[in-house]
Chains A and B, each alone.
Chain A
């Protein structure tokens, strides 16, 4: 049981390049989330998904797109990377309902540097 995994662990991009971050969970969770973590700030929600085929915007969605074609996978895309997107990205998942009381299970993170 791997829990939540993220690919890649680290990536360097040039401004304007695109990339996709992959998140996979094997806990049969309905809800999945993408966060970014920046120094001196708490986690900020980028997008989330309440089930296969559905996504919604979080607090800081601009510059990112997401897809949830399969229940176990949640992809985060950067179409044209900018230096402001340099951050550590965390994926998380939770059980059936997106109530705030649900425990979230986190992946190990992806460190992205945009030059």
Chain B
């Protein structure tokens, strides 16, 4: 069965440090891949998405993600985090006209 795994429930990073959030998926073909962010008290907002082509995808707010087919991964990165990046991040995977499958989320905590 298709699945999405975000291995880290919480991650704590110092402000200004780099960030990598992990996402692994189990899917039959190359799926569509998404990262969404949920700020406290808000709905989810799309950060970036990958369908095909260049495996390094740029998103909003300085985020990027890299699709690695051999590792079935789509990790989210940011070179230098800001306090405003504190939020919960969700990876989602889909294919064709099927509904998205969502990861359980990773909560990012920023240390001053």
Contact = CB atoms under 8 A, between A and B. Distances in A.
Interface of A: 4, 40-45, 48, 58-59, 90, 92, 97-101, 103-104, 106-109
Contacts of A97: 97
B46 A103 contact: yes
A98 B96 CA distance: 9
Interface of B: 4, 9, 31-32, 36, 41-46, 49, 51, 90, 92, 94-105
B98 A100 contact: yes
Contacts of B101: 42
Q: Which of A4, A41, A106: most chain B Cβ within 10 A?
A: A106
A100 B95 contact: yes
A22 B9 CA distance: 31
Given A43-B100, A43-B102, 7 more contacts: A42-B4, A42-B104, A42-B105, A101-B49, A104-B100, A108-B41, A109-B41
19 contacts: A41-B104, A42-B90, A42-B92, A42-B102, A42-B104, A42-B105, A43-B90, A44-B102, A48-B99, A92-B43, A99-B94, A99-B96, A100-B98, A100-B99, A100-B100, A101-B32, A104-B100, A106-B44, A107-B43
B44 A98 contact: no
Nearest to A101: B32
B94 A90 contact: no
A98 B97 CA distance: 6
Contacts of A45: 99-100
